């Protein structure tokens, strides 16, 4: 999927926040993106993979967190 196709699909789905992530990556303002591995970024798996591939090609380091790690952080916040 080309960058233009990705942006068009995101526009159709009104996913402005994801478009802004891509714009931030292009401008160098986004260097890392942390994601819970089991959730990803988008519910649409094909579009999710395309966006993550695009972000990585723009130099964004994708950091995957395990759901267990994320749950541990929430428990720490409660204390």
pLDDT per residue rounded down to tens, the chain (79 residues): 999 999 999 999 999 999 999 999 999 999 999 998 888 899 999 999 999 999 999 999 999 998 777 565 555 555 5
pLDDT of residue 67: 78
C-alpha closest to that of 41 among 63, 73, 72: 63
Residue 65 pairs in a beta bridge with 36
d(CA 28, CA 59): 8
- Segments making up each domain of the chain, as ranges: 3-78
What's the burial of 10, exposed, middle or buried (CB within 10 Å: 0-12/13-18/19+)? buried
55: tokens are 């972000």
- Radius of gyration over alpha carbons of the chain, in Å? 14
Task: Please tell me the pTM assigned to this model.
Answer: 0.82
pLDDT of residue 70: 59
């Amino acid at each position: 999927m080309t960058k233009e196709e990705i942006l068009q699909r995101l526009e159709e789905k009104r996913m402005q926040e994801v478009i802004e992530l891509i714009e931030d990556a292009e401008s160098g303002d986004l260097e890392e993106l942390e994601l819970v591995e089991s959730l990803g970024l988008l519910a649409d798996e094909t579009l999710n993979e395309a966006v993550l591939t695009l972000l990585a090609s723009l130099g964004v380091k994708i950091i995957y967190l395990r759901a267990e790690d994320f749950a541990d952080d929430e428990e720490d916040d409660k204390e």
